[in-house]
Amino acid sequence: MAGEDSGNPVPSTPESPTSAGFNTEQLPHDSSHSSDEEEAAVDPEAIRDEPDEVDEEEDDGEDLYNDNFMDDYREMGAQDQYESVGLDESVEDERDLDQIMQDRRAAELELDARDARIPNRKLPQLLHDQDTDDDNYRPSKRQRADLRPPSAPRSYDDTDGLQSSPGRSQQDHSRDDVPMTDRTDDYPYEDEGDDQGEFEMYRVQGTLREWVTRDEVRRFIFKKFRDFILTYVNPKNGHGDIEYVRLINEVVSANKCSLEIDYKQFISVYPNIAIWLADAPQSVLVVMEDVAQRVVFDLHPNYKNIHQKIYIRITNLPIYDHIRDIRQIHLNTMVRIGGVVTRRSGVFPQLQQVKYDCSKCGSILGPFFQNSYSEVKGPFTVNIEQTVYRNYQKLTLQESPGTVPAGRLPRYKEVILLNDLIDCARPGEEIEVTGIYTNNFDMSLNTKNGFPVFATVVEANYVAKKQDLFSAYKLTQEDKEDIEKLARDPQIGERIIKSIAPSIYGHEDKKTAIALAMFGGQETNVEGKHRLRGDINVLLLGDPGTAKSQFLKYVEKTGQRAVYTTGKGASAVGLTAAVHKDPVTREWTLEGGALVLADKGICLIDEFDKMNDQDRVSIHEAMEQQSISISKAGIVTSLQARCSVIAAANPIGGRYDSSKTFSQNVELTDPIVSRFDILCVVKDIVDPVTDEMLAKFVVDSHFRSQPKGANIDDKAFSESQEESQAPAGLADSKILSQELLRKYLTYAKLNIFPRFHEKDMAKLTKVYADLRKESSRGQGVPIAVRHIESMIRMSEAHARMHLRQHVTEEDVDMAIRVLLESFISTQKFGVQKALRKSFRQYITFKKDYHGLLLVLLRELVNDAMRFEEILSGSTQMLNYVDVKVVDLQAKAEEYEITNLEAFFSSSEFKACYELDEQRKVIRRHLADDR
């Protein structure tokens, strides 16, 4: 290297050794340099050979990473330079050769650094993301500084990227170097000499890990990081505060000893050092902690008495790895992994700074420093007085259940916690660890196996708990985009409802109710005193064999934090909570039942009518106040049960009797029934059409489904599921995949908090008044103020389903429709028709007309059949039934449906009916029973 430092005046001369850093990641750290040099030497030679055109670069430019970059570039006004490949010479003329060389080296350095990373990680992409944010606020002075150096190196690099190889990584450099260089020039005030040193620094010699242990490099990192802490201003909060000085003050006032550095902020200012930090974290962290310590103690000199050391915690590391995907290329780099803590050791003192007594001469040796992953063993005795200990704890982190592919067992990793991270997580918690993935020759393992097997651990640097419930379903940026795109579909509501339990045929109303319950309304707290629940409770009441349990099972599978139980309660704890004595400690402990376990989720209760008496009492409170009060065995407490309840019950006597009222049909008291927002009465109507559908569906699921062998893993499985449904006749492109639906739900629950407007209240009030009038007359479920709340909740849920932050009129109409349907279905059969008529305008809202028309048509067919039966005494000989189109039209007009064209061309219609245009009749072929 020294030879080159003297400055080679001709830029074109191959500078082979400069690229020693090339690909270091992939080689064992100590592999000979010679092969690298050979490889690297190729590049510069190639550069000179034929300078090429820019447009060719465009051809190669399919690289994902670089698209943003081009844009940035233009914003910076550096566009001209980019185009001006031909201007090279003039630029060169203006500047002295040394400068050119420096620039060039700096650029190459970046390439090297970049090169080393590309094969392993996706970091560069993140760099770009960051850069876009960044460019907008960069001070103008720096921008000017940018303009100076890049032109010369770029011209070379362009050609380099062009013709040396079509390889992507090459291409990267040619574009990347620009912003990288401008970062290095962050301090234009510094004199040239300093600059020169700086470029020198970025040119990694040898492996990166060795490089960053060099003294001059360490000094360099030290300086840069200190600058970062002392000068970084977060562009997002416009106060112009110096971010980390403020954070330091916070740390100090909270008496903590960890300073959290946002990696994304750091990388936006010093991309190179940030990459070094990610790739060779051990040594870089030492320097950074040194900086942090000094800065903190400079600012708060007396803090030394409280904490002797300040730790740097790296937050926001952009790359997230699954435990399953951690490979040897991640060794000794920084990783971010997530999982469930399954085991935690006690806290042990670990030697940190060891001093030894020599047993022969008695002199004290040391201090020796120790890493968490290796231990010093020697024939010396530890000097107890002068040795410094630190706390040490081990965790086992196991993959979260949602991320394990089917048929595999979750993997695990050991995590080491040191110092103030001790006890930051408990077994059973889901956490995310940012740390250094290290390995060592584990001596004990070695003797056991007689073989050099490496044990690997993650030395935690930063631990984030994932309190939110939805961590099992992670949303990537693409997911979010997909979801937002979906939400723009005007039919998204219907599509979601259709996608609920797609394997169950029909039952639109149940599906609507379940969809609303899964999305949920918005909890409100009136002046901080009075909480109004946002969860929607649904009761499915119906004949046996009407898929009630299947719905519940479906929600259990799809919903978040869903707990399934039966009213009889499989466990002794039951639905609410129980107090029992711990056999070991003899202490009374509380154990939550299903409702408590489902807090912030969905509680699914099958056979709701068969609840035991104890639960029946507490469920009143649980469903409205959403808490469960316990006063037993000296424990007086209240447990949270903020969940929506979806319950299923069977009618008295097994069958729903339409001639009786709702409360006569079910063994539930009115107070409990009124706590349900939506009541779905499901009657098993004798209907050949649905029977036929059912038959078809069952046959299809037997003979059309994919063979089991095709389900290689989760993804394939869900795909095959979709495929198997597609030919089932009822599926169409409108149905979302269950995976997407789950993500959509997660997104909606996390991000959408719809608000209800007063102006929509008028409509609700009117409906409420009407309903109340009707309910006093009829014998259905009494209507109470609660039902207004229900409507509000449902409209909020509907808004959330459409990812709307505000409740619109459409949402309100939908809520009214659902409530009305629920209300009407609870009435005696005779009353229903009248009610349906008087509330017609609400009921038909946005309903799937086809379904309605199908019902009407079916009624007509049934009428016609009955007519035939009376005429001929039997329908046995009947092959088909004709219904006049006019009749259907007349019926449809009662529901304000005028246009039947769409219906006639729908697949539902075509499945069973035939339209005869000439005769204006609809023909229904009857099943050939004989």
Q: Which of residues 431-460 bind other proteins (CB under 8 A)?
A: 439, 444-445, 447-457
- Name residues contacting other proteins, limited to 568-597 (CB under 8 A): 570-572
- What residues form DSSP beta bridges with 514? none
Minimum gap (Å) between residue 262 Cβ and other proteins: 31
- Please tell me whether residue 473 binds other proteins under the rule CB under 8 A: no
CA distance linking residue 885 with residue 893, whole number of Å = 12
Minimum gap (Å) between residue 273 Cβ and other proteins: 27
- Please tell me whether residue 346 binds other proteins under the rule CB under 8 A: yes
CA distance linking residue 861 with residue 502, whole number of Å = 27
- Please tell me whether residue 928 binds other proteins under the rule CB under 8 A: yes
For helices 271-279 and 123-135, the axis angle rounded to 10 degrees is 150
> DSSP string covering 834-854, please?
HHHHHTHHHHTTT--HHHHHH
- How distant is the alpha carbon of residue 699 from its chain centre? 38
Select 27 or 87, whichever has its Cβ closest to other proteins. Answer: 27
Select 35 or 249, whichever has its Cβ closest to other proteins. Answer: 35
Q: Which stretch binds other proteins (CB under 8 A): 209-217, 240-248, 395-403, 844-852?
A: 395-403
Select 31 or 841, whichever has its Cβ closest to other proteins. Answer: 31
Minimum gap (Å) between residue 596 Cβ and other proteins: 17
Minimum gap (Å) between residue 469 Cβ and other proteins: 13
Minimum gap (Å) between residue 50 Cβ and other proteins: 30
CA dihedral sign of residues 745, 315, 246, 227: negative
Minimum gap (Å) between residue 375 Cβ and other proteins: 9
Residue choice 22, 199, 202, 554 for contact with other proteins (CB under 8 A): 554
Select 327 or 846, whichever has its Cβ closest to other proteins. Answer: 327
Residue choice 58, 96, 423, 691 for contact with other proteins (CB under 8 A): 691
- Please tell me whether residue 706 binds other proteins under the rule CB under 8 A: yes
Within 10 angstroms of residue 679's Cβ, the number of other Cβ atoms is 23
E strand or H helix at 540, and its extent? Answer: strand 538-542
CA distance linking residue 385 with residue 375, whole number of Å = 19
CA dihedral sign of residues 915, 918, 920, 926: negative
Taking Cα atoms as reference points, which of 462, 402, 393, 469 lies closest to residue 432? 462
- The pairing of strands 627-632 and 388-398 is unpaired
Residue choice 401, 671, 727, 830 for contact with other proteins (CB under 8 A): 401
Residue choice 376, 404, 831, 878 for contact with other proteins (CB under 8 A): 404
* Amino acid found at 305: N
Minimum gap (Å) between residue 616 Cβ and other proteins: 21
Q: How many residues bind to other proteins according to rule CB under 8 A?
A: 86
- Name residues contacting other proteins, limited to 593-622 (CB under 8 A): none
Residue choice 133, 414, 479, 770 for contact with other proteins (CB under 8 A): 414
CB 353 within 8 A of CB 369: yes
Determine the 3-state secondary structure of 606 from DSSP.
strand
- Please tell me whether residue 374 binds other proteins under the rule CB under 8 A: no
Minimum gap (Å) between residue 702 Cβ and other proteins: 4
CA distance linking residue 821 with residue 109, whole number of Å = 70
CB 818 within 8 A of CB 847: no
- Please tell me whether residue 560 binds other proteins under the rule CB under 8 A: no
Taking Cα atoms as reference points, which of 623, 459, 442, 646 lies closest to residue 539? 646
Minimum gap (Å) between residue 651 Cβ and other proteins: 15
- Please tell me whether residue 347 binds other proteins under the rule CB under 8 A: no
Residue choice 148, 390, 411, 474 for contact with other proteins (CB under 8 A): 411
CB 558 within 8 A of CB 655: no
- Name residues contacting other proteins, limited to 265-324 (CB under 8 A): 324
Q: Which stretch binds other proteins (CB under 8 A): 281-289, 699-707, 845-853, 892-900?
A: 699-707
Determine the 3-state secondary structure of 289 from DSSP.
helix
* Binding-site string for other proteins from residue 496 to residue 525, where x marks contact by CB under 8 A and - marks none: -----x-x----------------------
CB 204 within 8 A of CB 109: yes
CB 848 within 8 A of CB 494: yes
Select 240 or 428, whichever has its Cβ closest to other proteins. Answer: 428
Residue choice 348, 389, 588, 829 for contact with other proteins (CB under 8 A): 348
- What residues form DSSP beta bridges with 315? 262
Residue choice 724, 779, 875, 906 for contact with other proteins (CB under 8 A): 724
- Please tell me whether residue 428 binds other proteins under the rule CB under 8 A: yes
E strand or H helix at 130, and its extent? Answer: helix 123-135
Residue choice 214, 390, 394, 474 for contact with other proteins (CB under 8 A): 394
Q: Which stretch binds other proteins (CB under 8 A): 22-30, 64-72, 183-191, 197-205?
A: 22-30
CA distance linking residue 225 with residue 126, whole number of Å = 20
- Please tell me whether residue 33 binds other proteins under the rule CB under 8 A: no
- Please tell me whether residue 697 binds other proteins under the rule CB under 8 A: yes
Residue-wise burial string across 147-178, b where 16 or more C-beta atoms lie within 10 A, e elsewhere: ebbbbbbbbbbbbbbbbbeeebbbbbbbbbbb
Q: Which residues contact 766 (CB under 8 A, 6 or more apart)?
A: none
